[in-house]
Structure 1
Amino acid sequence: MSDRLFDKPVYIKKGRYLTLELTNVYDALMFLHEWPEDDRDLIYETAWKACCDAYDGVKPVIAARNAIKGFASKRDILDIPNPPIPWSASALSNNDQLRV
C-alpha cells in the first residue's frame, strides 16, 4: 500500500470538531464509500472513479489526491490545518510548565 500513499495528507472536516486525515488512496475510497447515497453527484462520481483508477494503478496517485481534495473543496469540508505556533513548543519545559 505504500506505493499508493499521498505525498501530503488531505484533511477533511467531519462535524464541528473532528478532522479526518486521508493519507492514501484506500482512505479516500473508504471516505467516499461512506458518503450518503442521496448526496452523490457528478463531482462525487469523478472523485470515486479517479480513486478507483489510482487504486488499480491506471492513474497516478496524485490524480486521486487532487480529486478527493477537489471534492472536499466543493463540499466546503476541506480542512487546512494551522501550523503550530513556533514559540509554543519551545516555551514548554520537560514537565509541560511554561518557562518564564
Structure 2
Amino acid sequence: MDRLHFFSPVRITRGQGHPLEEVDSVAEAMVFLRKWPTGRRGPVYQCALNCCSAALSGQMSPEEARKAFTGFARITRLLDDESAMPMGGESMGHVYALRR
C-alpha cells in the first residue's frame, strides 16, 4: 500500500441521484479540494488543504490529513453518514487502537 493511502476511504455523497465517491488517499483529497469552489473556501477548507499538503511533504501522517479532510466533508455536509461509523459495530476506541 502506498504510504499516502488512508486506512479507510472517506465516502462523499453529493445527494440523491449522484454516485457515491470514495477518497482513499492524500492525493485524491488534494484533487477534490482544489476543485472546490473558490467562494466556498473557508477556514475548515484551508485546514484540510494545509493538512493534505503537509502529508504530501512528509510533515504529517496520512491519517491526520484524513481526519482534517473528513472534518471538511462533515462540515460541508458531503460526508456519507455510514462512512463516519465504525464497521461491524465496533466501538470507536477499538477503531482508533487499530490505527496506531
CA distance in 2, matches of 1:35, 1:5: 21
Structure 1 ranges of 4+ moved more than 6 A = none
How far off its partner does 1:13 sit?
1.0
2:86 alignment partner in structure 1: none
How does 1:30-49 map onto structure 2 within 5 Å?
30-49=31-50
CA distance in 1, matches of 2:71, 2:43: 12
Runs (5+) with no aligned partner, structure 1:
83-100
2:90 alignment partner in structure 1: none
C-alpha RMSD of the superposition: 1.5
How far off its partner does 1:80 sit?
3.4
2:13 alignment partner in structure 1: 13
Tell me which protein shows more helix as a share of its residues. 2
Compare CA radii of gyration and give the structure with the larger one: 1
1:50 alignment partner in structure 2: 51
Residue type at the aligned position of 2:69: I
TM-score (structure 1 length as normaliser): 0.76
CA distance in 2, matches of 1:15, 1:79: 9
Q: For this pair of structures, how many residues does the alignment match?
A: 82
How does 1:1-100 map onto structure 2 within 5 Å?
2-16=2-16, 17-81=18-82
How far off its partner does 1:15 sit?
4.0
Tell me which protein shows more strand as a share of its residues. 1
Q: Secondary structure at the match of 1:14?
A: coil
Percent identity at matched positions? 33
